[in-house]
Each structure stands twice: as C-alpha cells, then as structure tokens.
Amino acid sequence: MTLSEIFEYMLAGVPDDYDISAGSFFYDLLYPVAEQIYFLQQKIQDLSTNTFALTAVGEYLDRKAAEQGLTRRAGTFARGMVRIYGNRGEIVNRNAKVAADNILFAIDETATIPEAGYVDVGATCIMVGSVGNVKVGEINRFPVTLPGLTAVENITEFTGGYPQESDVDLLERYIEKVSHPTASGNIYHYIEWAKEVSGVGDVRVIPLWNGNGTVKVVIVDSDNQPAGEDLIEAVKSHIEEQRPIGAEVTVVSATALTINISVNIITDGSDGIQDAVEESIKGYLADEALKKSYVSYAKVGSFILSVAGVEDTTLSVKLSKDATENDIAFIRSLAGNHSFADYRESNRQNRGTYWLFNILVYGFLAIIALIAVFNIMNCISMSVSAKLKQYGAMRAIGMDSGQFTKMITAETITYAALGCLIGIAAGLPLNRQLFETLVTSHFGVPWTFPVFPVIIILILIATASAAAVYAPSRRIKNMSVIEVIADE
C-alpha cells in the first residue's frame, strides 16, 4: 500500500462525529503513525527481497554469497613505471602525485634524481578500476608543481586496474556454485578458483588437454578482453595454492578473433546511431566470449534493431570458400522471420564478368606493350642506321666500341625515360577515369594507384632498352671502317 492509502484507511476508522480535515487533532495524530507503518512496510519488503540471492543486492547479496564461501572480488589499482626528469640530487617523495589528464597516480617509493637527470620509479593509480589503465606516454604532468622536477612520462603501460565485482557477476558466480557443485578438482572447481581472482571475467577449462593429469584454464579479463600477463600469473598462483596434488595446470589468455560485420541500416535521422550500433554489437560479442562457439546472426540483428533510431537493417554474411549447403541452411534458419537473400549466384556472375573484363583489358595492354617494345628497338636501330657513316668516321679517328656503346646507351635511356614520364603522366588520369567508369560504378571496387603495373612497365621498358642497345652496338663493332668511308 502507498502512504496515502494507509493514511486514508486509518482516517476511515475515525467516527464521523470527529473532525478529520487537514490540521485537525486526528489528522495530525494519525499521519505520523501511517508514515511509520509505510516505512516499516518498505523495510519488510526489502528484507523479503534480499532474503533470496536472485533478488538480493549489495551487502545482502554479499551475505548470501558468503553462505557458499564466496566473497565479492575487490577492485584493484593499475600499476606501472614512470620516468621523472629533474635536477641532479632532487628527491622524488613517496606518494608524490603525477597525472594523465584528471587521473592521479601516486609514486610508490622515494627516489633521488641521479647524474643522468631522470629516475624510473613505480606508480599506482589512486582510483580503483580500469580508469587507471593508460597507454605509454599518457602520464605527462604534475598536478602540483614539485620543486626541482621538470617533467614526467610513463615508460610502460599501466595495467591491472579492475573494478569491484558487480552484483550481476557475483550472482553469476553464486548460481554457478550452487548449480555445479565443486569437488576434488573437477572442472567447476577450476572455474571457481580462477574467478576468485580480481579482474577475471570468464573462464573455460579444458581437461586432459595435453594428456593425463593436465588442465588448461583459459581466461579473459573483467571487460571480456584478452587477459594481461599479470592477471594470468595471479590466476596461476591462486590455482596452484588450491589444486589437487599431481595436476599440471596451464593458465592462458583467450586469443582475440576479429569478426568483420557489414551492416546497412535505415534510420530516422538521429545523431550517433552508428556509434550506438557498434557499441551494441561489441557488447553482445563481449558477453558471448568463451560461452558460445558461434555468433548468432539473429541476435546481432536484434541488438541492432534495439538501438533507438534504427528502423530497419540488412546484415551481410561473407562465407569462406569451404562453406557447404548445410552452412547456408543453418544461416537461413538463424534469420528466423527476417528476410533472407542468397547472392552467391549473382556474385559468381559478377566475378566472372569482372575477370573477363580484366582478361580483355590486360590482353589489350599486353599487345600495346609489345608494340612499345618493338618501337623502342626499331627507333634505336633506325637512329644508328641514319648515323652509320658518322660512326664510321668516328671509328676511323680512334673511337672504340665501348665508347660507341655508351653513346647509344645514353641515347636509349633518354628516349625511354622521356617516353615513360610522358606516358605515365598522360596514362594515369585516363586509367583512373576508365576504371571508375567501368569497374567502380558496377562492382564498387575503388581505384588505387597501380603500383605493380607501373613497376612491370618500367621493368619491361628497361629490358627493351637493353635489347635495343645490344644489336646496334654489335653492328657498329663488326662494321668495316674502310667500307663505310668508301661508301661515303
């Protein structure tokens, strides 16, 4: 009952001969009583709620968990190393503060700046939780000026900061404890031991993974991300204190797996929808870490549609090459009442068209390249033929074959280099325009600078130039000076 209902019920019991209006004797007398009855009713409801673990919160949940030997995991502080710069001989006091933005860290021990002008010391975040987990270089200032100290930076990442265990996580451990009794080092015992360590989010146990007597414990941190080395060592040490004699325990972190999800969404035009969708999907994937061996197509879609502002969505699933018809049928079943479209046949046709286009284009380019090669060789040969008498005269006055080769090579390189520069400068804009018109507009493949084709062209031109030099050089070397001068 609400306070007003209780008060009205009490006033209804007063005889009609008496005044019960606001400010009357009975009104003022009964209202405080009704208020206390209401408060007592609330306490009784709270006690009823907190009597059962499924509805208990806070300290009441702690008490229910303690009945099963469980204790709420305390939060931990992030730790790491900082480098403090200053004048030689200056003292860095224990508990001196350094900061990354508005996050404060305390120096772990007193130190003195040596001759090098800096000292490396440990530091601990003064706030519990992941807020203190910062990257290298993010600690960069003193919140209060410290005489003789000029600069500070963290030279290692600060890790190991985890929040206090939430009611949801503690209740999950409580249910696991009750539902899966632990005994004699069974799987549930290892799960319980691992989860007793602050910072552990979820656990998977693989018995007999490397033969008899072996156990592998796979963990993630409280954010359902790969566990750091410090957390792995803490879990391993704790299990070593609890495990049965003879068991060989290996503790490792789960490995992150990148999943590419392409989503087309129809929105109502609200701002921030893309970020909200990304966070929704990340939250779902984090919750499923170590629990499922697959990602539900239907659940991903439902989480996207649950985001405010999303009116409709299309999910694209990219299959591996070894996907079978059974895989397709399974994905179709996950779609449930949602529309399902199979684009494999159309994709095959598009790929066939794409490769046919490539063959035609590159075949045409190969013909053009051969024409360019023969053109280079022909131009150099014609140039030498046109100057044959001059070359003969040069031979007559003492020029040797090596000098002729160098002269022809210089002419060839000049011709080829100018041709490459002009051709690339004129060809790249045309290449991009044609690619975007014929490929990008139909297949969605963006144009990129053709590095590999350009390298092939340069190698081809260099090879053709070398071949173009060889024949004329050999011809000049073998020609008779007397015959050339006589013909003149």
- 69-73, 221-225, 329-333, 438-442: which has the highest mean pLDDT? 69-73
Helices within 167-250 (DSSP H only): 167-179, 187-195, 229-242
pLDDT of 96 over the 90 cut: yes
CB-count burial class (<10 Å; 0-12, 13-18, 19+) for 242: middle
Selection from 419, 418, 411 nearest residue 383 by Cα:
411
Tell me how far CA of residue 224 lies from CA of 10, 255, 256, 288, 428, in angstroms. Answer: 55, 11, 10, 9, 48
Sign, Cα dihedral of 364, 365, 369, 372: positive
Greater model confidence, 481 or 139: 139
Other CB atoms within a 10 A radius of the CB of residue 96 amount to 21
Domain ranges of the chain: 3-50, 79-154, 180-253, 262-335, 354-487
State residue 337's pLDDT score: 66
Q: Which residues of 364-379 are buried (b: 16+ CB within 10 A; e: fewer)?
A: eeeeebeebbeebbeb
CA 302 – CA 312 distance, rounded (Å): 10
For 414-434, write each residue's pLDDT tens digit.
Answer: 878 888 888 888 888 888 888
For residue 392, is pLDDT > 80?
Answer: no
Predicted local confidence at residue 221, as pLDDT:
87
pLDDT of residue 320: 66
Rounded to two decimals, the pTM is 0.52
CATH superfamily of 180-253: Cation efflux protein, cytoplasmic domain (3.30.70.1350)
Most confident residue range from 62-71, 387-396, 401-410? 62-71
Residue 486 has pLDDT above 60, yes or no: no
Percent share of the chain, pLDDT over 70: 90
pLDDT score, position 141: 95
DSSP secondary structure code for residue 224 in this structure: S
Confidence of residue 325 (pLDDT cuts 50, 70, 90): confident
Tokens read off for 417: 């280099």
The DSSP code for 362 is H
Question: Is 80 exceeded by the pLDDT of residue 155?
Answer: yes
Can you tell me the mean pLDDT for 310-339? 70
| pLDDT in the model for residue 104 | 96
Which residues does residue 216 pair with via DSSP β-bridges, in sequence order? 206, 250
pLDDT at 388: 66
Residue with more model confidence, 235 or 394: 235
| Band (71; pLDDT cuts 50, 70, 90) | very high
Quick check: helix, strand or coil at residue 232? helix
What's the CA gap between 235 and 203, in Å, rounded? 11
- pLDDT per position as a tens digit, 354-364: 788 788 877 88
* Rounded Cα distance, 189 and 141, in Å: 46
